């Protein structure tokens, strides 16, 4: 078996958790702005947009929770490997780490697109 150091994994996990914590905080702010729109508008078009973004925010909050769980689960697995193999893990599992990185990157892209779409909506109705 080939082994690789787990040091990069721990650093990645910390960075990813901080990133999704940032997105969660940003989501709280966006939801606050959505409430402002509701208070200022009762136009059908505005309410349709509000409902759309409420749904999107719920979906993204769920995605954040699932992503955080996956990161913590992977971190626990890596810690177990490090303990069992003196700071190393079976290199056959590098793909799992890369896949998790792709999920984090994809989430960031999707969230940023949603934020951009919401800012356009916000500019129209505020």
Q: Above 90 in pLDDT, residue 24?
A: yes
Q: Above 80 in pLDDT, residue 88?
A: no
Per-residue pLDDT tens digits for 56-86: 999 999 999 999 999 999 888 888 877 887 8
| Least confident stretch, 2-11, 47-56, 93-102 | 2-11
* pLDDT confidence bin for 1, thresholds 50/70/90: low
* pLDDT confidence bin for 113, thresholds 50/70/90: very high
Q: Provide the residue range defining the domain that includes 114.
A: 3-125
Q: Which residue has the tokens 């082994």?
A: 3
Average pLDDT value over all residues in the chain: 91
Q: In whole angstroms, what is the distance from residue 92 CA to residue 2 CA? A: 8
Q: In whole angstroms, what is the distance from residue 54 CA to residue 32 CA? A: 11
Q: How many domains does the chain have?
A: 1
**28 to each of 5, 31, 61, 99, how far by Cα in Å?**
37, 5, 10, 27
């Amino acid at each position: 078996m080939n082994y690789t150091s787990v040091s990069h994994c721990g650093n990645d996990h910390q960075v990813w958790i901080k990133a999704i914590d940032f997105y969660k905080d940003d989501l709280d702010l966006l939801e606050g702005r959505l409430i402002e729109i509701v208070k200022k508008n009762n136009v059908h078009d505005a309410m349709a947009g509000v409902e759309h973004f409420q749904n999107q925010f719920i979906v993204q909050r769920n995605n954040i929770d699932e992503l955080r769980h996956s990161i913590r689960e992977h971190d626990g697995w890596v810690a177990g490997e490090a303990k069992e193999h003196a700071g190393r893990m079976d290199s056959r599992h590098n793909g799992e780490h890369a896949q998790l990185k792709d999920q984090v990157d994809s989430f960031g892209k999707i969230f940023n697109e949603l934020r951009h779409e919401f800012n356009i909506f916000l500019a129209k109705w505020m």
